[in-house]
């Protein structure tokens, strides 16, 4: 008997989120408030410039005002923090996004920490991380929040399931592990020093791949009936899992592109609107 596969369409989830946001943006407009996201780009990395442009276009489509701050590659840490503080002090700016990565000579963590918590709509500060660990964050990191949104949209149970997260970055692997744990999953977080990785992944009812390596997760690592969330995006539109191979065993899987990515952007917009709504109270 052939088992029907569930393709977790991120575009569908994101479109539904944005439809709801359009209504909320109009309600804010009636109160004289226009949600505003400020994006800072340091240097001229073409991929980063593309991401910033995509986010700006996404804002425009639902009525969010976007400000783009372009800084040269020679920008120092102090100069970047000064630019962030200027946006912190601007009452019409509701969210601040510092595009990652910044040039190597900049202390990225210090720059992230300069973003005020009420404007940290991308969930990059250590304060936001701590709040997320306790399940109290207003704006958890966008990609982890997107993963949870996809699971919720498709009514995929988390409680009591064994979730295996591959990757431990502070804005993806670690926070999504905490969020799944807060949803009563049993969570194993794997990383570059994990031994017998394949055997651990085979235990996962939910597998989240967040390693930044194309086609890293192999099909025979996935146990029959597992849910596979591919949070990677690599050159050539490749995710972190071997999609075709993993699809054979998985019950549900996110494609790349059109999986986690669109929902991540929609989540950023949602957080920005929520930040603006707090100002309207």
- Chain segment 104-157, per-residue pLDDT in tens: 999 999 999 999 999 999 999 999 999 999 999 999 999 999 999 999 999 999
Phi, psi of 227 (to 5 degrees): -105, 125
In a domain, 5, yes or no: no
Residues of the chain with pLDDT > 70: what percent? 99
Specify the pLDDT at position 280: 80
In a domain, 12, yes or no: no
Number of separate domains in the chain: 2
List residues with catalytic annotation. 55, 99, 122
For residue 29, CA distances in Å to 23, 35, 37, 63 come to 10, 9, 15, 9
> Do 245 and 149 share a structural domain?
yes
Cis-peptide into 108, omega within 30 deg: no
- The candidate with the shortest Cα–Cα distance to 35, out of 15, 54, 60, is 60
Residues of the chain with pLDDT > 90: what percent? 96
In a domain, 22, yes or no: no
CATH of the domain at 177: 3.40.50.720
Specify the pLDDT at position 2: 59
pLDDT band at 4 (very low <50, low <70, confident <90, very high): confident
In a domain, 13, yes or no: no
In a domain, 209, yes or no: yes
Residue 227 scores a pLDDT above 80: yes
Specify the pLDDT at position 3: 64
> Do 151 and 250 share a structural domain?
yes
pLDDT tens digits along 48-57: 999 999 999 9
Residue 43 DSSP class = S
| Residue 173 lies in domain | 141-261
Residue 1 scores a pLDDT above 70: no
Region 35-50: mean pLDDT is 95
Q: Tokens in use for 189?
A: 């977080």
Q: Tokens in use for 137?
A: 């964050």
Specify the pLDDT at position 36: 98
In a domain, 122, yes or no: no
Region 21-36: mean pLDDT is 97
CB-count burial class (<10 Å; 0-12, 13-18, 19+) for 245: middle
Sign of CA dihedral 162, 168, 174, 179: negative
């Amino acid at each position: 008997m052939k088992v029907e596969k569930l393709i977790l369409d991120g575009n569908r989830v994101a479109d539904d989120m944005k439809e709801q946001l359009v209504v909320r943006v109009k309600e804010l407009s009636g109160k004289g408030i226009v949600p505003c996201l400020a994006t800072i780009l340091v240097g001229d990395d073409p991929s980063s410039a593309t991401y910033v442009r995509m986010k700006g276009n996404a804002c425009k489509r639902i009525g969010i005002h976007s400000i783009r701050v372009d800084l040269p590659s020679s920008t120092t840490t102090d100069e970047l923090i000064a630019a962030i503080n200027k946006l912190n002090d601007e009452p019409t700016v509701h969210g601040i996004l510092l595009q990652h990565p910044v040039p190597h000579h900049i202390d990225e963590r210090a720059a992230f920490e300069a973003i005020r918590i009420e404007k940290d709509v991308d969930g990059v500060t250590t304060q936001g991380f701590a709040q997320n660990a306790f399940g109290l964050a207003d704006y958890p990191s966008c990609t982890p929040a997107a993963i949870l949104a996809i699971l919720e949209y498709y009514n995929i149970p988390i409680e009591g399931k064994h979730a295996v997260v591959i990757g431990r970055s502070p804005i993806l692997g670690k926070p999504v592990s905490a969020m799944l744990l807060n949803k009563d999953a049993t969570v194993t977080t794997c990383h570059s020093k994990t031994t017998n990785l394949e055997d651990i992944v085979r235990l996962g009812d939910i597998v989240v791949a967040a390693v930044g390596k194309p086609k890293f997760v192999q099909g025979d690592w996935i146990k029959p009936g597992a849910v596979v969330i591919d949070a990677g995006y690599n050159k050539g539109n490749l995710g972190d899992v071997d999609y075709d191979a993993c699809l054979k065993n998985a019950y549900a899987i996110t494609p790349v592109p059109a999986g986690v990515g669109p929902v991540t952007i929609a989540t950023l917009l949602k957080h920005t609107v929520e930040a603006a709504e707090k100002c309207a109270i």
